[in-house]
Amino acid sequence: MRADRLVAALLLLQARGRVTASELAEELEVSVATARRDLEALSAAGIPVYPQPGRGGGWQLVGGARTDLSGLTAAESQALFLLLGPAGSGEPVLASALRKLVHALPATFRADAEAAARAVVSDPAGWGEAEREPPALVRALRDAVVRRHKVRLTYRGTERLVDPLGLADKDGTWYLVAGTEAGRRTFRVDRVDSAEVTDLRAERPDDFDLPAEWARVVAEMERRRSLVSAVVLIDARFLPVLRSHFARHCEVIGQEDGRVRARVGAHLVRSIAEQLAGWGAMVEVVEPESVRAELARIGRELTERYAERRPAGS
């Protein structure tokens, strides 16, 4: 995992003061290119790691070798935990490492570092095509979460003042969880028209748990997206592809005639049929009849449009 490599790289820099990409690659058992990208990621996140060109150069942790994190500034500490915190979601070993790093910080920085680590949750299961790059607003919203500043959002043409509670990175698509006058709401960041971080103090419940809240949001969204299901039969070798199409909405429920019996789901009968139509005879829909009928309708529509037409007089 990249996050634990970043922690290891930082600790190695603290111990030695300076390392080359080759030395780091050997220590972490990765390629030199991967080691260089990890060092660049630490530097880009605001950690005081810089390359030293020339003979005898390498990558250096500014301030010289040291065995703890007491040399980091408040901003650098936040940058570290913003970088590593999301990747630690659900990873006990990395979470333990982050806790140890927190205790190594000066007491005055710990609260901000812990807030940064809790600001973002990572969810690798996507709901569709992922964004290649995080929206430009992510950094500003993330800072607003950490510093507890209210944000004035314009979302789909409607302006509102919100209390930012956390960000979720769902396979490259970012969401803001925020408190509003109407209760907690989730905003897709790439659909935010504008966002202004104010100087007003944001309200955040003491018992707020971002991973738990995001799990609730996902469960509710999945319930809405999966109101219809169908049982299908498919050759076992094609099951991984079917799962990639339906993600969490594909469940193996048995076997029949050498094929896998699975249940797939979506929010509409038409949505299931449209996703299965391209499979042709490789997938057999057992039930419900509504999905079978919709597939038949799609087949007739395609036949009418694309069936070979004989030349006149033949």
Residues 13 and 56 in one domain: yes
The helix (H) or strand (E) run that includes residue 163 is strand 158-170
Cα–Cα distance between 276 and 246 in angstroms, integer?
A: 10
Residues 176 and 256 in one domain: no
- Number of structural domains in the chain: 3
Question: 232 or 306: whose pLDDT is higher?
Answer: 232
Residues 32 and 80 in one domain: yes
165-216 per-position pLDDT tens digit: 988 888 778 899 999 998 999 999 989 999 999 999 999 888 888 888 988 8
Cα–Cα distance between 314 and 300 in angstroms, integer?
A: 24
Question: 189 or 11: whose pLDDT is higher?
Answer: 189
Residue 34 inside a domain? The answer is yes
Residue 216 inside a domain? The answer is no
Residues 59 and 32 in one domain: yes
User: What residue numbers bound the domain in which 244 lies?
Assistant: 226-306
Residues 106 and 22 in one domain: yes
**φ, ψ of residue 147 in degrees (nearest 5):** -90, 0
Residues 9 and 83 in one domain: yes
> Structure pTM?
0.47
CATH classification at residue 36: 1.10.10
Residues 130 and 110 in one domain: no
**Last residue within a domain, chosen from 175, 210, 245:** 210
